[in-house]
Structure 1
Amino acid sequence: MTTEVRVPALGESVTEATIATWFKKPGDRVEVDEMLCELETDKVTVEVPSPTAGILAEIVAAEGETVGPDALLAQISEGGEAEKPAAKPAKAEAPAYKTEDKTTMSGNSVDVMVPSLGESVTEATVATWFKKAGDRVEADEMLCELETDKVSVEVPSPAAGVLAEILAEEGATVDAKARLAVITEGAEGTAAPAKPSDAQETVLENAGPEEMTPRTDVEDAPSAKKAMAEKGVSRDQVQGSGRDGRVMKEDVAKANAPKPPAAAAPRAPSAAGDADREERVKMTRLRQTIARRLKDAQNTAAMLTTYNEADMSGVMGLRNEYKDAFEKKHKVKLGFMSFFVKACCHALKEVPEVNAEIDGTDVVYKNFVHMGVAVGTPSGLVVPVVRDADQKSFAEIEKEIGALGLKGRDGKLSMAEMQGGTFTISNGGVYGSLMSSPILNPPQSGILGMHKIQERPVVVGGQIVIRPMMYLALSYDHRVVDGKGAVTFLVRVKEALEDPRRLLMDL
């Protein structure tokens, strides 16, 4: 089946465009929404994505041609297989691989693609390859591990055969639809690294330390040239991500993006000789993303925190009275988290703006509660989500929190299990925190901080008594939540915890 690629909508006042650059050539494999070419009009530059996956069978309009609206640009054969040319080394330190003559490579070639990363994740970093080119692999055997800003993703082999070629080396950043490697089905053998051609060796030998890549004469995207001129960025300051090192528009934006001061240069040791006693470890992708998102939350939201305290006698008494019967019937222990989740769901009904989020100039109110529960793991903080927590029983909440917490500690949480939260609870009390100001989990507008339960003297009915007390902290986005709403929310949580019967009576 053949699919036509036509000129997209150019605007009512635009009657023609010029083919500026083709990023693919006939015979290349293309994926859905992968950029095929770039058009230039008298007003804007227009990118043309692929409408389907398949093989670029024919280019109808070559570079430099002028075309009108809806003109035919190319033909794509759906479901075809491209003839893969011999791999060229992308960098001197990461050569391509080829198999020795004794390897049988007559089977079908199977692409190893980036697996599903989740709807909000657009890229990943190749963390570790467990196989090398030429190794024999079995179906479903783990080939490599990717790191995203939320979880680590294992990539299994889609077929049995030989890992013929690795396309994305360790440390490379790949998008959600990228090819990672090629497997030749049914092949047998070992691999030897391919040597660069004589011409490539000459270029690499003469290159400076900052230019250890094969040089080719490529034309950068017109939109990239324009962006470089506008931003005052020179060509050698930009790392091209397009075919053959072609600079794309987004590469210019990355090159021009401001960097945090801490990343500008390594910190000098505080005193002579201290460097030998220091250990420098590169931040994981997860930790980098945690740092960026937390700082973004501070920079974006008008974040404010209000405090209160709750007498936990009521919850502790109810829990002690029913914990054995609860565990016997539901096969799960009755903890404190289910009380807090139910108390927050109850309060969110009265103060719905705490359960809302800002989208541009709109406030989106959620008529459901997807409760995020922050979990500390060896690799960093993750926030799995208990969906429709307002519709679940105490037992259902306890079971789900227990299962999600175990997955989080084992690094087995899926992307779907960490997306879509509308409100978050963070329990710093398990680490001994007496009081803190939790940071919002964007785009949410509220997060409740739990803390350590500590016996303190309080006045009850004119008498000083000892009670188990907990400080509560609500951080909220003042752009959508007023002070009155925030205080009211926290008071309702306090009341529900101090008298859990209010939850049953919906008071």
Structure 2
Amino acid sequence: MATVDIKVPDIGDFDEVAVIEVLVKVGDTVKAEQSLITVESDKASMEIPSSQAGVVKEIKVAVGGKVKEGSVVLVLEADGAQAPAPAAAPAPAAASPAAAAATPAPAAPAPAPAAASGPVEVKVPDIGDFKDVSVIEVLVKVGDTVKAEQSLITVESDKASMEIPSSAAGVVKELRVKVGDVVNIGDLVAMLEGTSAAAPAAATAPAAAASAPASATASAPTPAAASPSPAATTAAAAPAHNPTVAPTGKLPHASPSIRKFARELGVPLDEIKGSGLKGRITQEDIHAFTKAVMSGAASTKAAAAKAPVGGGSADGAALGLIPWPKVDFAKFGTVERKDLSRIKKISGANLHRNWVMIPHVTNNDEADITELEAFRVATNKENEKSGVKVTMLAFVIKAVVSALKKFPEFNTSLDGDTLVYKQYYNVGFAADTPNGLVVPVLKDADKKGILQISQEMGELAKKARDGKLGSADMQGGCMSISSLGGIGGTHFTPIINAPEVAILGLSKGQMKPVWDGKQFVPRLTLPLSLSYDHRVIDGASAARFNAYLGQVLADFRRVLL
């Protein structure tokens, strides 16, 4: 495949803009129109999309660097599915979020009206092919005196945030929009009592090409460029209350994708201190804040205002719980403080969410693996020279696939009120690493034998220990397995890995006396702990699933049936 340089398209009149976020890494597979980097001018932050699909071979930019039109962002190994090239237009059009939104291109100035002119309507100028862009900040209030070209509101699409300037100078007499509203070209923003001069005559900014958010300012009417792709032109409409924007004060320093992520979680960005360049809020900051609120270590201002007398965390107050204890541990003896690893910060929030939101029930059972263990030992002796070591977990994965086929409701995910039945069999397994627990996913386990499963498990486990697992290695699971067999324990309650509906826990196998109808005989038994989502699976189905799993492990010939 040929390599292709992905360059910064036309971003308007800006000479250089700062890179504040790199959204991909080497080895990632990107689609045409997928955002690659976020850049920022003094007026707008914008995401630069890829002009075609492929695999990232080299990244040419870094956070804090500067780019301009024509700068190489990265090198792709193209897959041949190139995005359509933008049509030529006499005025600048970008395949990126419109930086032109930040500085309107003035046309020939209009004649200045007489002093103390009457009311002036300030409307949304041409912002390209976007419809229903969200108002995320109102920058003025009634009574303010504004200058021509002074920003009045900030709007946001799914690719860019942009400021809408005033077309005239004057005093704000009435505001017709508020945070959370959606606006389109021609919508009335404010009524001004005009002063001595109006702004240069507004003109239409060119529409962006291929996924570009268009200019949010006025410029001379020109033919529009090729329309952006549907994915790029879908505006993210905000709810009536936008938790990512402070009621007063400056807009939080975050890219459009981060603000959208915060809105989806209901996180108030104005209460987060950014750890990125120039205080920029990152996705890790949102994860950390969410975890702190859910654990009771922090609370949002809104929740604190509603907290009962005596205090309480955001969630604790809502549940009527007392506050999380604040203890000076050092007064009892020597202590050492260590930050949680990045993996534990992310997985902790996910585990807490899953435990709170999913009604867990755990079914405990045991499987007789005496013959299977003997077969495993013999198999390893036969394959000593291959370097592949077969573990009991490989057999359990194959048995789980057989159980998923027999009980398809376990191979589902909830999507709102819809149950999604999967026709593939990908099994995740928990891997313990120095930085925390991760769950790599073994793909298409139904199409692989025990030796191949063992080999791929070993490779994924090594990548996990080395910190080299990619996001694709941990996605697409149907059901997960958490094995503590090598450590100990009899039974436990594993937490379901959403959006899956069940997880299997394995404890340490033990020799037990089992009655065979005539006498007690020693048998090796494996404890099985099956946690399931009670919204999808009832107790009888879970008991049958676990019992069938035990039958397969006791006589592995059943996988052939």
TM band (smaller chain)? 0.5 to 0.7
Taking only aligned residues, the RMSD between alpha carbons, in angstroms, comes to: 4.1
Instruction: Return the alpha-carbon distance in structure 2 between the equivalents of residues 453 and 252 of structure 1.
Output: 45
Instruction: Return the alpha-carbon distance in structure 2 between the equivalents of residues 43 and 263 of structure 1.
Output: 30
The alpha-carbon deviation at position 458 of structure 1 amounts to 1.8
SS in 1 for 2:377: helix
Q: Which residue of 2 aligns with 1:36?
A: 162
Q: 1:326-373: CA deviations, max 9, x gaps?
A: 444x54122212110110000000111111010001000111111101
Q: Which residue of 2 aligns with 1:94?
A: none
Q: Which amino acid aligns with 1:288?
A: K
| 8 Å Cα contact 1:347-1:492 kept in structure 2 | yes
Q: Which amino acid aligns with 1:45?
A: D
Which is worse superposed, 431-440 or 337-346?
A: 431-440
Normalised TM-score (structure 1): 0.56
Q: Which amino acid aligns with 2:448?
A: K
Unaligned 5+ segments in structure 1 are 12-18, 25-30, 49-58, 81-222
Q: Which residue of 2 aligns with 1:476?
A: 532
| 8 Å Cα contact 2:341-2:436 kept in structure 1 | no
1:74–1:321 Cα change, 3 Å: same
Q: Which amino acid aligns with 1:253?
A: P
The alpha-carbon deviation at position 318 of structure 1 amounts to 1.3
Q: Which amino acid aligns with 1:36?
A: M
Instruction: Please tell me whether residue 436 in structure 1 is matched to residue 492 in structure 2.
Output: yes
1:346–1:282 Cα change, 3 Å: same
Instruction: Return the alpha-carbon distance in structure 1 between the equivalents of residues 500 and 544 of structure 2.
Output: 18
Instruction: Return the alpha-carbon distance in structure 2 between the equivalents of residues 288 and 472 of structure 1.
Output: 29
1:404-483 aligned within 5 A:
404-483=460-539
Instruction: Return the alpha-carbon distance in structure 1 between the equivalents of residues 183 and 468 of structure 2.
Output: 38
SS in 2 for 1:332: coil
Q: Which residue of 2 aligns with 1:3?
A: 93
| 8 Å Cα contact 1:20-1:37 kept in structure 2 | yes
| 8 Å Cα contact 1:347-1:489 kept in structure 2 | yes
Q: Which residue of 1 aligns with 2:111?
A: none
SS in 1 for 2:505: strand
1:285–1:47 Cα change, 3 Å: farther
Q: Which residue of 2 aligns with 1:45?
A: 181
Q: 1:142-184: CA deviations, max 9, x gaps?
A: xxxxxxxxxxxxxxxxxxxxxxxxxxxxxxxxxxxxxxxxxxx
The alpha-carbon deviation at position 77 of structure 1 amounts to 8.2
Q: Which residue of 1 aligns with 2:118?
A: none
SS in 2 for 1:476: strand
Instruction: Please tell me whether residue 282 in structure 1 is matched to residue 418 in structure 2.
Output: no
Instruction: Return the alpha-carbon distance in structure 2 between the equivalents of residues 491 and 413 of structure 1.
Output: 34
Instruction: Return the alpha-carbon distance in structure 2 between the equivalents of residues 74 and 290 of structure 1.
Output: 44
1:47–1:390 Cα change, 3 Å: farther
1:190-201 aligned within 5 A:
none
The alpha-carbon deviation at position 503 of structure 1 amounts to 1.7
SS in 2 for 1:443: coil
Instruction: Return the alpha-carbon distance in structure 1 between the equivalents of residues 419 and 547 of structure 2.
Output: 24
SS in 1 for 2:500: coil
SS in 2 for 1:430: coil
Instruction: Please tell me whether residue 269 in structure 1 is matched to residue 359 in structure 2.
Output: no
Q: Which residue of 2 aligns with 1:21?
A: 153
The alpha-carbon deviation at position 290 of structure 1 amounts to 1.3
Q: 1:278-304: CA deviations, max 9, x gaps?
A: 112222332122111111111111111
1:78–1:322 Cα change, 3 Å: closer
SS in 2 for 1:381: strand
The alpha-carbon deviation at position 386 of structure 1 amounts to 0.5
1:6–1:319 Cα change, 3 Å: same
Unaligned 5+ segments in structure 2 are 1-87, 95-126, 134-150, 166-175, 193-202, 213-237, 272-289, 299-323
Q: 1:48-102: CA deviations, max 9, x gaps?
A: 9xxxxxxxxxx99998699xxxx9555558999xxxxxxxxxxxxxxxxxxxxxx
| 8 Å Cα contact 1:38-1:45 kept in structure 2 | no
| 8 Å Cα contact 1:61-1:74 kept in structure 2 | no
Number of aligned residue pairs: give it. 328
1:45–1:471 Cα change, 3 Å: same
The alpha-carbon deviation at position 460 of structure 1 amounts to 1.7
| 8 Å Cα contact 2:427-2:478 kept in structure 1 | yes
Normalised TM-score (structure 2): 0.51
Instruction: Return the alpha-carbon distance in structure 1 between the equivalents of residues 247 and 527 of structure 2.
Output: 55
Q: Which amino acid aligns with 2:411?
A: N
Instruction: Please tell me whether residue 302 in structure 1 is matched to residue 359 in structure 2.
Output: yes
Instruction: Return the alpha-carbon distance in structure 2 between the equivalents of residues 47 and 466 of structure 1.
Output: 75
